Structure formats: structure tokens, C-alpha cells
Amino acid sequence: MRIKKAIAAAGAASVLMLGLAACASDTTGGSGGEGGGGGGKAVTIGIKFDQPGVGFKEGSTYTGFDVDVANYVAKELGYTDVTFKEAKSADRETLIESGQVDMIFASYTINEERQQKVSFAGPYLVAGQDLLVRSDDSSITGPESLNGKKLCSVTGSTSAQNVKKDFAGKVQLQNYDSYSKCLPAVLSGNIDALTTDDDILAGYAAQPQYKGKLKVVGKPFTEEPYGVGIKKGDTALCKKIDTAITKMIDSGDWKKALDKNFGDANYTPDASKNPPKPIACS
């Protein structure tokens, strides 16, 4: 009886060890590990869900320029199973720091404040901050004309705060938790303008329900280099992402993705800055 019990215990231990080994194998691709990412099966990528042309979720389908760049990079890094997770502006650093995502492609401008918490690869696009207003509103011609006006401010984004600080100290900031919720307010007149990057605004204005009713002012007043957010200090992963982005640009696939996602919006990024040269790795 003791012999049988010993054999059974040994067998159970073997099954347990095999199970643990299998689990370890399944997770090697998720976070990139210490070796800088790639070569695994699964990866979780943060994107926006409510920015047509940039990052947009409809049912179980994900579209947009950020999505196309993310899929290209993931494939180049050897990932075969990509899971997209919503990355709202206010949540992006937390998602990276907590390990809920491995990379973020979410109209994520590289700046010094964010670099204190996360690292960036890229940039893969240089956009510019602009204004979205009603098509019949001729009173707003740029950020300086916003004094006394109501401007949509989105939690976690610095766009509206920058307007108040640098251009129109008397602008009234109205807080919302996403850009998509600002759009009906602009259309109804409860908000006078929405500000964020020009590619995002162009995507909104091109939506069927807003076409002809909303317009982009067309005078960008900042430079917004979009980076790929990753865990702080992961330079190995950063370099691999930069290599993949460079390959996408050189192959012509970057331009194809741009035309595919912004053709209907008549949006063309500043040719003097695009396509950019990925140099972040910081």
C-alpha cells in the first residue's frame, strides 16, 4: 500500500510540474520579458476605442492608423495573438506600469512628463493640435480666439490646458471623460470647440453623422509626436519596435495605412515632419 501511495504521489508531482512549465511557456510572449519582447505568442496592446481613423472599436472589429501600425509591429516582433485593450488618456501610464498592457498605440504624444513614468519607442506619426468647431461658426479662427468660449477638456489629456495656458487665458474648460462625448455638445452648441490632434479631429469630422456639420479649423499650433508607450527602461523592446516602424515606413506600408485611414477625411500630416524617423528609445 505504501509503495502504491508513493507512486501516486510522484505521478501527481510530475503532472503539477508539467502544468507549471506549460503555464510559464504560455506567458513568455505577453509582457516581453526581460529580453525585450517579441518571439512570443500573445501580446496585449492598448489603443483608443473612440477615435475614428486612429483607434476605433465597432463590435469586435478594430480599425484605425494606430491599429494598423500596432498590428504591423506585433507581427514583426513575432507575436501571433494580439489582444486590444482600451487605453483612455487618463489610464495610459497606469496600464503600462501595472502590466495590464505590453505596449500602447493610442495617439500617445511623447513628452517629458510622461517619460518620467514610461518609456517610448517611435515616433510613428507627428500630428499637430487643432480645433474642431461647427461648420457655421466663423468666430473661431485659432486658439487665440477662444477667450470667453467653452472648450472641451478631456481627463488625462493636456490639449485644452495648453490652450488656456499659452493662448487664451479666459477660455472656459468643460470636462468630459472622452472626446467622443464632446462631439454632440459641440454640435448642439453647449460647447464651442474641441481641441486635440488634427488627425483625430479629421476622423471625427468625416463620420457620417457629423460630415458637413463639423469642421477642422486647419491651423495646427503644436507638434505632437506619437510614440509607443512601454514599461520604463525597456530599451531592448524599444529598439525592436523602432526597427519595425522603420521597416513599415521604408516598405511603403506606412503610407498605405495613412491613406487607408485618412483618405475620406482629407487629412495629410505635415510633410516636413512625416514620415518621422523613430529615435525615441527613452
What are the tens digits of pLDDT across the range 49-102?
999 999 999 999 999 999 999 999 999 999 999 999 999 988 999 999 999 999
185 or 265: which carries more pLDDT confidence?
185
Residue 263's pLDDT is 86
User: What average pLDDT does range 264-271 have in this prediction?
Assistant: 89
81-86: strand order across its sheet: 81-86, 42-47, 103-104, 224-231, 118-127
In this structure, CATH architecture of domain 129-216: 3-Layer(aba) Sandwich (3.40)
Task: Identify whether the C-beta of residue 199 lies closer than 8 Å to the C-beta of residue 48.
Answer: no
Return the pLDDT at 14. Answer: 38
Tell me the torsion sign for CA atoms 107, 112, 117, 122. positive
Confidence of residue 38 (pLDDT cuts 50, 70, 90): low
pLDDT greater at residue 266 or residue 187: 187
243 pLDDT tier (thresholds 50, 70, 90): very high
User: Do 42-127+225-262 and 129-216 share a fold?
Assistant: yes
Q: Predicted confidence band at 40 (pLDDT cuts at 50, 70, 90)?
A: low
Structure confidence at residue 158 (pLDDT) = 81
Max mean pLDDT among 9-13, 26-30, 61-65, 220-224 falls in 61-65
240, three cell numbers: 525592436
Q: Around Cβ 232, how many Cβ atoms within 10 Å?
A: 15
End-to-end Cα spacing for the chain? 63
- Residue with the bigger pLDDT between 121 and 281: it is 121
Q: In terms of Cα–Cα distance, which of 95, 281, 99, 265 is closest to 197?
A: 265
What is the C-alpha separation between 106 and 197, in angstroms, rounded? 12
Listed by start position, the domains of the chain span 42-127+225-262, 129-216
Task: List, edge to edge, every strand of the sheet that includes 129-134.
Answer: 172-176, 150-154, 193-197, 129-134, 214-216
pLDDT of residue 154: 85
Condensed to tens digits (0 to 9), the pLDDT of residues 145-180 reads 999 999 998 887 788 999 999 999 999 999 898 888
pLDDT range class, residue 22, cuts 50, 70, 90: very low
DSSP string, 131-198: EEEETT--S--SGGGGTTSEEEEETT--HHHHHHHHT-TT-EEEEESSHHHHHHHHHHTSSSEEEEEH
Rg (CA), the chain: 22
Q: Is the pLDDT of residue 33 over 80?
A: no
What is the CATH class of 42-127+225-262? alpha beta
Q: Whole-model pTM?
A: 0.79
Distance of alpha carbon 6 from alpha carbon 138, whole angstroms = 85
